[in-house]
Chain A
Amino acid sequence: MVAVRRVRRTVLYLVLTLFAGLYLLPVYVVAVTSLKTGAAIDLAHMWALPRTFSVGSLGAAWTQLGPNFINSLYLTIPATVISSLIGAMNGYALSKWRFRGSNTIFFLILLGMFIPYQAVLIPVLRVLEAIRLDGTIPGLILVNVVYGIPITTLIFRNFYVGIPREMIEAGQMDGAGYWGIFRRIVLPLSASGFVVAGIWQFTQIWNNFLFAVAVTTPPHQPVTVAVVNIAGSQTIQWNVQMASALMASIPTLVVYILLGKYFVRGLLAGSVKG
């Protein structure tokens, strides 16, 4: 039995490693390309390691991306937090306090997820101008929060559906009201929900280019705009483009690692027991 188990574990790790390799293959090309000099980039030798390592493109990318990084943080952190919280509150209302028409409302919120951003570019700019938020990061936060509501609401509603009704009822027995139950019972169980919603929102907002480029003007532009600009329009510098793309994805990776910690096993089970 122990031997069987050991074989299984080995196969498990082999399969995981194989997939990890496959997933990292394109990342390898990004990294290798970003270390090459412009003239050395050639499709026929894309797999080859650079003959002379050039960190020039990394340096060039950093000097140009730096200020935009800060803008992206100012944009992404509040927008992610606000839209996740709104999603949690909506999801709580829609899953634990069903009322007549609550499914219709959920449905109306959900449909908002399907709107193609290219189609609403002009009206978005008009509305932002009308409320005098055009060209600013708060304006961009507003847009990202609004278009993030459907997805975060969906994530939290479907997550909260799994919380047993008895727990809510137990809270009511203890005399807790709407917000008391949310704060003391539901929110502490929401870690995995916040992980999923946070990963999605942070990535989407951090990487969103269309709204970023249309809504903000320099010097308020986030890093995606800089990443695209840095590569050039007419002559594209692949090495700088890859270096900046890689660099711009690091904060997102950090978020995955930080949030990933809260994928803790048995969170729900433990609390039901306790």
Chain B
Amino acid sequence: MKRRISWDHWSAVLVLVPSLAALGVFVYGFIVWTGYLSLTDWNSYIPNFHWAGLRNYVAVFETFRFQSDIRNLIVFTALFILGCLVLGLFLAVLIDQKIRAESLFRSIFIFPMAISFVATGVIWSWLLNPQTGVNLILRALGDTHPPQWFLSTAIVPSIPLGLIQVGIPLALVAVTLAAIWQMSGFAMAIYLAGLRAIPDEMKEAARIDGAGAWRLFWSVIFPQLKSSTVTAVIILSAASLKVFGLIYAMTGPGQDFTTDMPTLNMFQTTFQGSQFADGAAIATILFLIMAAFSIPYLITVLRREEEA
């Protein structure tokens, strides 16, 4: 008996080997390659592996554009994840009420995900163009000063730090709206899968009409959705760090770089500016930021799980 269990554990290890090998090359190998590149002088079409030390990092950090990118990334990620989770959970709970035409509603809410980022970007740049789009409707409803959406260069509150103003760029909020529209359906799907895994008896207990249903939901149902929330947060934060196509098609870097992102900066630096080492430095910083935020978070989550 005992020997078989250990053989089963070996199976588990063996199953993981191919994945680890593939990721070893395509993720960790390439990170090392990118990291090495970022320490060289390769800043034109002529490959130049002369050692540059941290010079490229200093140069990148000293730009207004990159400092704006960091601010934008943090603001975008926070608003985007929060928006998707709240909306996704809300819609999932509504759909889980044994409704009619469930599949219709479900499909409508996930459908935005199916439309390519490029088309989404174009459409939302029309919808949120202050001269037309949504503002046509708002004006018809009597709003004489509709929002400037992604053309606003305002940053609230604007606290000077380094070369930039720190705060929430209003233009970025408009971009976040488009991103939430596109991805909240996926958060809904994750929560729905989680809700469907909860035994009906438990849900019935929480659904008992009258006072306390709200509290019961948060104290009984929501804790059951913890692993769904973790899944959603990790996937959405990865999507947010990598956001590119949507912004590229919707606003580009934006006036004063109010809607710029590190990925956009990296792409233009590398392929339009042919500054490969600077681009690699941006990519490396992006990866380090991600690690700095996610490693402590993941460790706590995994540790708590182990205790449970």
Contact = CB atoms under 8 A, between A and B. Distances in A.
- The answer to whether any beta carbons of A and B sit under 8 Å apart in the complex is yes
Interface of A: 1, 4-5, 12-13, 15-16, 19-20, 23-27, 29-30, 43-44, 46-47, 86, 89-90, 92-94, 96-97, 99, 102-103, 105-120, 123-124, 127, 143, 146-147, 149-151, 153-155, 158-159, 161-162, 172, 177-179, 192-193, 195-196, 199-200, 203, 206-207, 209-210, 224, 227-228, 238, 241-242, 245-246, 248-249, 252-253, 256-257, 260-261, 263-269, 272
A249 B286 CA distance: 31
Interface in B1-34: 4-5, 7-9, 11-13, 15-16, 18-20, 22-23, 25-31, 33-34
Interface in B179-196: 181, 185-186, 189-190, 192-194, 196
Interface string B96-140: 011100010111111111111111101110110101110011000
Contact of B123 (A29, A112, A269): A29
A263 B192 contact: yes
Nearest to B33: A123
Given A19-B91, A43-B131, A116-B286, A86 B279 contact: no
A159 B227 contact: yes
Give the dominant DSSP class at B's interface.
helix
Nearest to B127: A26
B19 A260 contact: no
Contacts of A16: 94-95, 99, 105
Nearest to B123: A26
B165 interface: no
Contacts of B199: 266, 268-269, 272
Closest 6 CB pairs of A and B: A245-B119, A119-B283, A252-B114, A97-B12, A93-B12, A192-B193
A264 B129 contact: no
Interface in B182-223: 185-186, 189-190, 192-194, 196-197, 199-201, 209
23 contacts: A30-B115, A46-B133, A89-B15, A90-B15, A93-B12, A97-B11, A107-B299, A108-B20, A108-B28, A113-B234, A113-B235, A114-B290, A116-B244, A158-B230, A159-B197, A159-B231, A162-B227, A177-B11, A200-B186, A248-B116, A263-B193, A267-B196, A267-B197
Contact of B26 (A24, A43, A146, A195): A146
Interface centre among B8, B117, B131, B280 (most CB of A within 10 A): B8
B283 A116 contact: yes
Contacts of A151: 235, 238
Contact of B119 (A47, A94, A242): A242
Interface stretch (B56-64, B150-158, B252-260, B263-271): B263-271
Interface of B: 4-5, 7-9, 11-13, 15-16, 18-20, 22-23, 25-31, 33-34, 91, 94-95, 97-99, 103, 105-120, 122-124, 126-127, 129, 131-133, 136-137, 181, 185-186, 189-190, 192-194, 196-197, 199-201, 209, 227-228, 230-231, 234-235, 238, 241-242, 244-245, 262-263, 266-267, 270, 279-280, 283, 286-287, 290-291, 294-295, 298-299, 302, 305-306
Which interface residue of A107, A116, A151, A242 has the most chain B CB atoms within 10 A? Answer: A116
A150 to B, nearest CB: 7
A250 to B, nearest CB: 8
Contacts of B192: 192, 263
Given A107-B298, A118-B266, A261-B103, 15 more contacts: A19-B91, A86-B18, A89-B15, A97-B12, A112-B26, A114-B294, A149-B23, A155-B231, A159-B197, A159-B227, A224-B116, A249-B114, A257-B107, A265-B98, A272-B199
A177 B12 CA distance: 11
Contacts of B201: 269
B25 A127 contact: yes
Secondary structure class of chain A's binding surface, majority of residues: helix
Contacts of B190: 155, 196
Contacts of A86: 18-19
B16 A15 contact: no
- Residue among B26, B194, B209 with the most chain A CB within 10 A? B26
